[in-house]
Amino acid sequence: MNLDDLQQLLMTNVHDTTEEYTRLFHGRGNAYDGYRFLTVDSVDKVLFAVLFDANEEEEEIFTLLQKFYTTEAKWEALVIQQRYLPSSPSTVVAGELPSENFAIENGLKYHINFLNAQNIGFFPDMKIGREFIRTQAKDKKVLNLFSYTCSFSVVAIEVGAQSVVNVDMNKNVLSIGRENHRLNGLNTKKVEFMPYNILKSWSRIRKAGPYDLIIIDPPSFQKGSFAATNDYEKIIRRLHEFAAQECMVLSALNAPELGTEFIKALFRENAPEFQYVERLKNLGSFPENDEERSLKNLIFKREI
């Protein structure tokens, strides 16, 4: 693949875009030779590109993206993030960034920030996971572990969940999560926001249970707080303490080095009453040459 191929692919994919979050180019899955370091997204009024590694073609890629932005005239700003640099700086390369920015998915909006953090506040690859929760959450008590900005909670409340408990040790992202509910006109009386370290807060989490639907969506590694290789099983081991008799679990993991068997084995060894149901498919706009290295969304159901 070369720059001409990249330009052609962007021009082809842009015709399918709406205001909803759309990945125009996904190099992270090694499906395009030489461009693993690059992603390009259409995010409502913003064209957003991320460079995960330094590359000798970086200047040419900046130029290509500026030309693409100008030619298509679909967005108000072009933002490029250099993830490989300290603090992962983002630069408004063209246009003017709107005062408020949103990720839009299935008609729901989520606050995002392109300039102040490594992650903008929304993970688009989890769309099918959220759609699964949409089909399951009505009248259910939902536990959302590692809730981040609470997109799963927004979906669950929107479809009529009985209650949702969001747990994340970062108070700031929970505050954004609360605002995401309000942004969509959703009442937060049925929603709880727990700013706790999950691994040290089992009694608080248990108090609001038992839960009919549990979402486990941790970072693969977060220095000082969570490492999937060591800590994921600590959660699975505790499931029986706060899961309802017919509880369903969405167990997610986005660590390339850990495959589906890693999660299945944790359930077999630590929560055998939870039977494996299926692995959810990933979005076609996130191609991966090795599915075991891609996002893993596994469904388990408790059978007693």
- Locate the domains of the chain by residue range: 3-112, 124-302
pLDDT, tens digit, 9 for 90 and up, residues 5-59? 999 999 999 987 889 999 999 999 999 988 999 999 999 999 999 999 999 999 9
CA dist., res. 81 & res. 88, Å (int): 7
Backbone angles phi, psi at 256, to 5 degrees: -55, -30
Tell me the two tokens of residue 130.
């959220």
Backbone angles phi, psi at 6, to 5 degrees: -60, -45
Cis ω for the linkage preceding 89 (within 30 of 0): no
**CB contact at 8 A, 168 and 195:** yes
Work out the end-to-end distance of the chain between its first and last CA atoms, rounded to an integer number of angstroms: 52
- The Cα diameter of the chain in Å comes to 59
pLDDT exceeds cutoff 80 at 296:
yes
Angle at which helix 127-136 crosses helix 151-158, to 10 degrees, equals 30
Report the CATH number of the 124-302 domain: 3.40.50.150
| pTM for the full predicted model | 0.95
**CB contact at 8 A, 164 and 191:** yes
Name the pLDDT band for 292 (thresholds 50, 70, 90): very high
pLDDT, tens digit, 9 for 90 and up, residues 62-103? 999 999 999 999 999 999 999 999 999 999 999 999 999 999
**CB contact at 8 A, 73 and 15:** no
pLDDT of residue 227: 84
Alpha carbon 91 to its chain centroid, in Å, reads 22
Tokens 């359930």, residue?
Answer: 267
List CB contacts of 122: < 8 A, sequence separation 6 or more. Answer: 21, 103, 110, 112, 149, 151
pLDDT of residue 39: 98
pLDDT, tens digit, 9 for 90 and up, residues 244-267? 999 999 999 999 999 999 999 999
The CATH class that applies to domain 3-112 reads: alpha beta
Mean pLDDT of the chain: 95
Element (H, E) at 276: strand 274-279
Give the CA count within 13 Å in the CB-facing half-sphere of 214: 28
Give the CA count within 13 Å in the CB-facing half-sphere of 112: 26
